[in-house]
């Protein structure tokens, strides 16, 4: 098994639970020990694109260069919560300024481009060997270092009372909850993130995402080959060279590919692995047995 699945995750289940369900669908083909890897998880209350690597494709996740994310979310003004989203308890309630629309328009440029964020306590960041989200359950709060992220685009889609709909294009590692809290604070009131929908995660986009039911109906059709996700050139090796590549040996090349990394296929067009060009030689970097 080697490929990716662009899943649509509804709000409710965790990404791990959804990955386990996907593994059961493909277990009949590859067995119960099928490896599953996520290209960016989603919080339980979030919905949208959840890319999953299956089998040997988990070893290709690091080669995906496009790691930008795109979201649509709601910012709920007037109340902050313990978790930064609608699932938390109220921390502070404030009035909403009468000129909130003008304040939001003025604040948007402050949160576009390179910005610094403090990860929320309810996040998967490691601290002292534990995930941050484990600490509040024990009544512990710790200082968190600021992290640099990039907001490529931040626009208001509409507003209904205290709820503002936003579209965000951002770098990997951006916390939308923190963005909502900080934007509200810049406007002079408390706030938290309401609903969250991920529209894109790197090369995986919402309009191509499949529900778990669609995947179960035709698992083979749902599997996305690596070449559609990672745009590397392909080198085809004959029998002896393919054997040497599989054994981890350098292979001489006659026609040099354009890229540094390449997909390697044997004469039967089976995917052998990923190689790195070193002058006129091809070095094995990931070999699929």
Active site residues: 43
Note the helical H segments in the chain: 15-30, 100-107, 176-186, 212-217, 219-222, 226-229, 239-246
Q: Write the CB contacts of 109 (distance below 8 Å, at least 6 apart in sequence).
A: none
What span, in angstroms and rounded, lies between the C-alpha atoms of 52 and 220?
14
Compute the chain's Rg from CA coordinates. 23
Q: Is 17 helix (H, G, I), strand (E, B) or coil?
A: helix
Q: Which two tokens stand for residue 185?
A: 């604070």
Helix (H), strand (E) at residue 18: helix 15-30
Q: Give the three-state DSSP class for 254.
A: coil
Angle at 270 between CA 265 and CA 274, to 5 degrees: 40
Place of tokens 């990923």: 274
CA separation, residue 286 to residues 60, 112, 201 (Å): 8, 38, 24
Question: Using an 8 Å Cβ cutoff, are 9 and 214 in contact?
Answer: no
């Amino acid at each position: 098994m080697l490929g990716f699945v662009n899943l649509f995750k509804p709000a409710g289940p965790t990404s791990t639970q959804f990955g386990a369900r996907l593994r059961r669908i493909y277990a009949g083909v590859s067995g119960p020990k099928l490896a599953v890897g996520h290209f960016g998880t989603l919080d339980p209350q979030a919905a949208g694109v959840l890319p999953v690597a299956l089998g040997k494709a988990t070893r290709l996740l690091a080669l995906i260069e496009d790691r930008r994310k795109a979201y649509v979310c709601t910012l709920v003004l007037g109340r902050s919560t313990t978790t930064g989203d609608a699932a938390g308890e109220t921390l502070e309630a404030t009035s909403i300024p009468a000129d909130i629309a003008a304040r939001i328009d003025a604040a948007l440029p402050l949160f576009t481009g390179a910005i610094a964020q403090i990860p929320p306590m309810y996040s998967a960041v490691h601290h002292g060997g534990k995930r941050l989200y484990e600490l509040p359950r024990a009544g512990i709060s710790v200082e968190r270092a600021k992290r640099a992220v990039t907001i490529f685009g931040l626009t208001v889609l509409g507003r209904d009372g205290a709820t503002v709909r936003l579209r965000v294009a951002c770098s990997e590692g951006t916390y939308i909850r923190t963005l909502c809290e900080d934007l509200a604070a810049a406007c002079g009131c408390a706030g938290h993130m309401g609903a969250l929908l991920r529209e894109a995660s790197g090369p995986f986009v919402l309009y191509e995402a499949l529900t778990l039911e669609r995947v179960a109906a035709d698992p083979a059709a749902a599997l996305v080959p690596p070449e559609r996700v990672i745009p590397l050139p392909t080198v085809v090796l004959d029998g002896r060279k393919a054997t040497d590549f599989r054994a981890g040996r350098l292979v001489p090349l006659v026609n040099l590919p354009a890229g540094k990394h390449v997909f390697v296929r044997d004469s039967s067009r089976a995917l052998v692995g990923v190689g790195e060009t070193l002058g006129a030689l091809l070095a094995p970097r990931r070999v699929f047995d």
